[in-house]
């Protein structure tokens, strides 16, 4: 557990995959392919919507031969607390506490809306050496921005009425999950765990600025961010999402863009890990 002493302190649940333990893996194992010293600083995974600390485990296992990889439950998820009132600034402070506890500065990888949170953290001056983000889900045009505002309103209504299942269905429908599949998921053993995460959807909507600016790219904010940042997308993702990733990279003074061919928003850790290793260690 990690806690921090600011006014809005919050308990955080953190899991770390240490580099040193990997060096003790059996000779010839896949996790023992690097024997030199790791790059300075840990690597921290910031999950997106409905992610908890376990979501980063497959990627952490692939990176652990070079880095100590840390994945944590964001505010309101898993074993972490959800001190009220919520504000994006509190989530930035949470990440700051994780970096400090890890002995930062740190490399940071953010998935989807977690990448947007990481961008805001870097803009606020957290000790981030390099930042990589995958498909930040900003809205591409006026129609999408109007949809984001409507989503934020409906999400607030459903969560305020404690209709967690309906809030999940709203989110999944918005992200393109077919209605038939959602119906099947509602009856699946995994559904209660998803309902436990449902209130955190409001956190992601706030991080994205869905209700305030329609989820648009905060170009003025990003234009002053000097941290070296790699913006990734998948070659099999929708064209608008790839366009947004390129736009974000072009806006960042130290931004670069890379497309992972054949990947969707549900990126395979095996495709992602070598790219992150090259960028962070370079």
Per-position pLDDT tens, the chain of length 282: 555 544 445 666 655 554 433 333 332 323 333 334 555 469 999 999 999 999 999 999 999 888 989 999 999 998 898 888 999 999 999 999 999 998 889 999 999 999 999 999 999 999 999 999 999 999 999 999 999 999 999 999 999 999 999 999 999 999 999 999 999 999 999 999 999 999 999 999 999 999 999 999 999 999 999 999 999 999 999 999 999 999 999 999 999 999 999 999 999 999 999 999 999 998
Structural domains in the chain (count): 2
Domain carrying residue 33: 14-138+217-281
One domain, residues 85 and 191: no
Q: For residue 9, is it within any domain?
A: no
Helices and strands per DSSP (H, E), number in the chain: 13, 7
What predicted TM-score, i.e. pTM, was given to this entire model?
A: 0.89
| Secondary structure (3-state) at 115 | helix
Domain's final residue, options 182, 208, 234: 208
Distance of CA 166 to the CA centre of its chain: 23
Domain's final residue, options 160, 176, 208: 208
One domain, residues 89 and 202: no
């Amino acid at each position: 557990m990690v806690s921090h002493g600011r006014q809005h302190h919050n308990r955080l649940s953190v899991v770390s995959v240490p580099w040193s333990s990997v060096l003790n893996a059996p000779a010839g194992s896949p996790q023992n392919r690097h024997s030199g010293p790791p790059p300075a600083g840990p690597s921290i995974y910031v999950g997106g919507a409905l992610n908890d600390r376990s979501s980063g485990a497959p990627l952490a296992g692939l990176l652990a031969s070079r880095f100590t990889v840390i994945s944590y439950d964001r505010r309101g998820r898993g074993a972490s607390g959800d001190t009220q009132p919520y504000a994006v600034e509190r989530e930035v402070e949470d990440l700051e506490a994780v970096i400090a506890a890890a002995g930062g500065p740190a490399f940071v990888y953010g998935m989807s809306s977690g990448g947007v949170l990481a961008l805001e953290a870097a803009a606020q001056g957290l000790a981030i050496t390099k930042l990589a983000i995958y498909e930040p889900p900003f809205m591409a045009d006026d129609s999408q921005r109007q949809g984001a505002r409507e989503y934020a309103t409906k999400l607030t209504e459903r969560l305020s009425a404690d209709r967690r299942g309906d809030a999940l269905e709203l989110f999944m429908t918005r992200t393109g999950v077919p209605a038939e599949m959602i119906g099947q998921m509602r009856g699946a053993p995994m559904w209660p765990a998803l309902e436990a995460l449902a209130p955190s959807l409001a956190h992601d909507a706030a991080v994205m600025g869905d209700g305030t600016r329609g989820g648009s790219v905060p170009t003025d904010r990003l234009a002053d961010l000097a941290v070296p940042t790699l913006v990734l997308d998948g070659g099999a993702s929708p064209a608008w999402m790839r366009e947004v990733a390129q736009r974000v990279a072009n806006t960042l003074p130290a931004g670069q863009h890379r497309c992972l061919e054949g990947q969707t928003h549900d990126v395979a850790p095996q495709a992602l890990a070598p790219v992150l290793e090259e960028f962070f260690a370079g």
